[in-house]
Amino acid sequence: MVSRLSPHDQVADIRMLLVIPCLNEAVTIEPLLRKLNGQRGGMDMLIVVADGGSTDGTQAIVRGLVSDIPDLLLIDNPKRIQSAAINLAVDRFGEGCDYLIRIDAHGDYPDNYCRALIDEAVAMQADSVVVGMETVGFGLFQKATAVAQNSKLGNGGSKHRAGGGGEWVDHGHHALMRIAAFRAVGGYDESFSHNEDAELDFRLRAAAFRIWMTGKTYMTYYPRASASALFRQYLGYGRGRAKNLIKHRSIPKLRQAIPLAVAPVVIGALLALFYWWTAVPMAIWAAACLGYGFWLAVGQKNPYGPLASLSAMIMHFAWSAGFWLELIGIRPRRTA
């Protein structure tokens, strides 16, 4: 039977669980929590901060806000990673809740973010609502990386990076999910430290759940501020993508397959001491990236274009290297 209630009336009866996995987010956590609290309106929303062992005072800040912000809880996430944080929060507090909203502590959100997600979920009868992502930087390297990640050179035309919206999709940046759907497929796979969202979306789609990308809201993401941090992040993304493909025996899309060649051509260029022509593929890749960067600088009048091309090259190489390392079974050492 189709409900005769208006979307506004339906939202009033919905109970939400909002989860923020975090680790060392002392700078952003208080303004983020105050903004989310301001979005409640008449909505029934429990806010859970799942901390992975912060050492910068994040936990003390959250504890200090518990008396000021209603329905705010702080829990420990001993496994540290985001997938475990969400699973833990849903396991403890998901009973009786209709929707899960996942918030990235390293980002920012419009003032109507939570309400827009709920309205879209109700209107579209979606099992998951995903959002587009706008990347914003502050320092020189971070600004250049933001330019790269907002461009096709850095995102390969990914819909949730390219600002898509208003369509059913296979994957997107996780924002809202029906808890019943989340539980039906077993939640996040905690063996994934990266790419856990794409892996879960694969299982959601296989179970006939529907994923809606909204164009009515979005999130702002702040990229890594150093080359080393960016490299480690994309190395993890590459590993996660390979692990996902291995688990589900799927084939990479063209926009994913092209960057896979980067690490092999860079390694192959080491043979240029003996065979000059082995450096040609790497030279072509580097020239294409640098050319795109200068096109951004001239054609788009973006002064960060040339440096953005270097950020993109770091992303390409790290993603490719991570993919191949995972594929051939070379795992990172685990520290105690």
pLDDT in tens, 72-106: 999 999 999 999 999 999 999 999 999 999 999 88
Domain membership of residue 107 (yes or no) is: yes
As for how many domains the chain has, the answer is: 2
Of 286, 299, 117, the residue nearest 213 (C-alpha): 117
pLDDT of amino acid 21: 96
Residues 251, 320, single domain; the answer is: yes
Q: What is the pLDDT of residues 217-258, one digit of tens each?
A: 999 988 999 999 999 999 999 999 999 999 998 887 777 778
* Three-state DSSP class for residue 110: coil
Mean predicted lDDT score pLDDT of the chain: 90
For residue 13, pLDDT over 90 is answered with no
Q: What is the pLDDT of residue 87?
A: 97
pLDDT confidence of residue 217: 93
Q: Say if residue 209 is in the same domain as residue 239.
A: no
The CATH number given to whatever domain includes residue 51 is: 3.90.550.10
Question: Would 2 be classed as within a structural domain?
Answer: no
In a shared domain, residues 143 and 51? yes
Same domain assignment for residues 259 and 172: no
| Same-domain status, 183 and 240 | no
User: Is the pLDDT assigned to residue 269 strictly greater than 70?
Assistant: yes
| Alpha-carbon dihedral sign for residues 189, 191, 193, 194 | negative
The domain boundary residue, chosen from 180, 195, 223: 223
Q: How are beta strands 211-221 and 128-135 bridged, if at all?
A: parallel
pLDDT of residue 161: 60
Phi-psi region at 61: left, alpha or beta (left = phi > 0; alpha = psi -120 to 50): alpha
Please give the angle made by the CA atoms of 1, 125 and 105, to the nearest 5 degrees: 145
The residues, ordered by sequence, that sit 6+ positions from 184 with a Cβ below 8 Å of its Cβ are 207, 209
Average pLDDT on 301-315 reads: 94
The pLDDT of residue 300: 85
Same domain, 181 and 279: no
Per-residue pLDDT band for 44 (boundaries 50, 70, 90) equals very high
Task: Summarize the chain as % helix, strand, coil (round to 5).
Answer: 50, 15, 35
Residue 228 belongs to some domain of the structure? no
Looking at the structure, tell me whether residues 238 and 269 fall in a common domain.
yes
Give domain status of residue 261, yes or no.
yes
- Residue 260 and residue 175 share a domain: no
Q: Would you say residue 310 lies in a domain?
A: yes
pLDDT at 1: 42
Give me the domain span that covers residue 266.
Answer: 233-327
Q: Assess whether 178 and 296 both reside in one domain.
A: no
Question: What would the mean pLDDT of 274-295 be, rounded to a whole number?
Answer: 93
pTM for this prediction = 0.86
pLDDT at res. 334: 56
Question: Are residues 178 and 69 both part of a single domain?
Answer: yes
> Can you tell me the distance from the alpha carbon of 210 to that of 47, in angstroms, rounded to the nearest whole number?
25
| Per-residue pLDDT tens over the stretch 164-222 | 678 999 998 999 999 999 999 999 999 998 899 999 999 999 999 999 999 999 999 88
User: Are residue 237 and residue 219 in the same domain, yes or no?
Assistant: no
**302 vs 333: CA distance, rounded Å:** 40
pLDDT band at 314 (very low <50, low <70, confident <90, very high): very high
Whether residue 125 is contained in a domain is answered as yes
For residues 286 and 317, give the distance between their C-alpha atoms in angstroms, rounded to a whole number: 11
In-domain check, residue 143: yes
Q: Of the residues 180, 205, 223, which one is the last residue of a structural domain?
A: 223
Q: Are residues 266 and 190 in the same domain?
A: no
336 within domain boundaries: no
Strands 15-22 and 99-102: parallel
Angle between helices 140-150 and 305-327 (to 10 degrees): 70
- pLDDT > 70 in the chain, percent: 93
